[in-house]
Copies of this chain bind each other. A is one copy, B any other.
Amino acid sequence: MEKDRYEMRFGGSGGQGVITAAVIMAEAAGVYDGYHVCQTQSYGPQSRGGNSKAELVISRREIDYPKVIKMDCLLAMNQAALDDYFYDFEPNGLLVVDATFVEQTPTSRTISLPFTAMARELGKELVANIIAVGAVARLCGKVSLESVEKAVIARVPAKFRELNEQALIAGIKAAEEVDLDRLPRSIPLEDVYGDPTG
């Protein structure tokens, strides 16, 4: 059975385009795949100079609470964003980081792909966020890749359409090399020691 809420958080520095990435993912799921989606940005007085975070909740039902409670997927575009936004991570969730800027991860259950380095190879560092969208979409399996492509095309300037499509495909391909079944899993303590009430 499909889980009721799928919760994602994207974090990165101001120029890394995490809000655009979240809006694209939200439009793929909400406009083209017919989910209920709430997409939020929160800022506080300490926002200046720091990282931004964007959150999405995706559900087949109406969404009562629009913010992340137990995060199924975290995309961190740099080390500070990972350190700051890892809280609320569901232990067997999907942690995706930009290997270009992240050296240390809080769990071995991490998918590390060099989004920014890949974007530089395409000639434009700015599309690292679109590469990341492609990878996360493929890895989480929550939205159709066709819908993600439509959402990217609708959101980016027409002039950069081809570059962004290349970026999306590069991200999807990189994710296809990842074997999710080989990632370590967090085992609940009751499964290790037996259920004390059993």
Interface positions of A (Cβ within 8 A of B): 14, 19, 23, 26-27, 29-32, 34-45, 47-48, 62-63, 66-67, 154, 157
Contact = CB atoms under 8 A, between A and B. Distances in A.
Contacts of A154: 14
A118 B157 CA distance: 21
The 3 closest A-B pairs by CB, nearest first: A30-B43, A34-B45, A37-B43
A44 to B, nearest CB: 5
Nearest to A37: B43
Contacts of A43: 26-27, 29-31, 35-37, 39
Chain A binding surface SS class: mixed
Contact of A41 (B26, B44, B47, B48): B26
B31 A48 contact: yes
Contact of A38 (B23, B31, B40, B48): B40
Contact of A47 (B30, B63, B67, B157): B30
A50 B139 CA distance: 29
A39 B36 contact: no
Given A66-B66, A66-B67, 12 more contacts: A14-B154, A19-B23, A23-B41, A27-B43, A31-B47, A35-B45, A36-B42, A36-B43, A36-B44, A38-B41, A38-B42, A40-B41
Contacts of A38: 40-42
